[in-house]
Structure 1
């Protein structure tokens, strides 16, 4: 059986929350860039149509803009999911602190060495 200490749990979920938050920010940056590119391609398609360029070429440009807009929608959904994961990790950290923080403080304040964890297990 693998044991996970209070400190290890808190460090793990804090790192997870930080990492996922960073990932969400990166996804949002990509979404903004993709949205800007989609708008540029859509304007180019409109300009091509205004210059009476063949419908196949203008259609391809419009399709590309539509696909890129779909990408932005998916990116926003992924970024939202990272927010949920980060919130869940922060909630786990808060619950660990609430449930075991006092125990950790008392154990840290003791001037004697702690016994092996098996000693503290309930039967």
Structure 2
């Protein structure tokens, strides 16, 4: 039997495309959460400033907000790369379908049994 059939390839490429798309969506959600937390932390820094908390604490809180914003930006960039990967995976699945779907359908409709791969090759050499 062949190492990889059309049906297996189609199933694997579709699963890959879906998995990468789901992962990309999850990364976008995490990036949004981090950005929201960064904004909240910046608001907290302003609030504690109004309460006349020491300047070192306010500066540390602002620095934390700045770092969190940087992490959110990096996560968003990573999510954009994941989107590109998701599109590439979907394109690979679509190309596989366009290139091989007819062969897969013909093989599925074929009346030749699946046992052809277990054929005794010596029988073919006999006259």
TM over 0.5: yes
The aligned residue for residue 43 of structure 1 is 43
Once superposed, which parts of structure 1, at least 4 consecutive aligned residues long, lie more than 6 Å away? none
**What number of residue pairs does the alignment pair up?**
117
TM-superposed deviation, 1:50: 2.2
Q: 1:19-78 deviations in whole A, cap 9, x for unaligned? A: 111111211221121111111110111122222221110010001101110111111112
The answer to whether residue 9 in structure 2 is matched with residue 9 in structure 1 is yes
TM-superposed deviation, 1:91: 1.0
Q: Write the distance in 2 (CA, Å) between the matches of 1:4 and 1:84.
A: 27
Calculate the TM-score normalised by the size of structure 2.
0.82
The aligned residue for residue 54 of structure 1 is 54
Q: Secondary structure at the match of 1:20?
A: helix
Structure 1: runs of 5+ lacking an equivalent: 117-123
The aligned residue for residue 81 of structure 1 is 81
Q: Write the distance in 2 (CA, Å) between the matches of 1:72 and 1:78.
A: 10
TM-superposed deviation, 1:108: 1.4
CA RMSD of aligned residues (A): 2.0
Q: If you compute each CA radius of gyration, which structure gives the higher value, 1 or 2?
A: 2
Q: Write the distance in 2 (CA, Å) between the matches of 1:112 and 1:3.
A: 19
Q: Secondary structure at the match of 1:47?
A: helix
Q: Write the distance in 1 (CA, Å) between the matches of 2:89 and 2:33.
A: 28
TM-superposed deviation, 1:94: 1.2
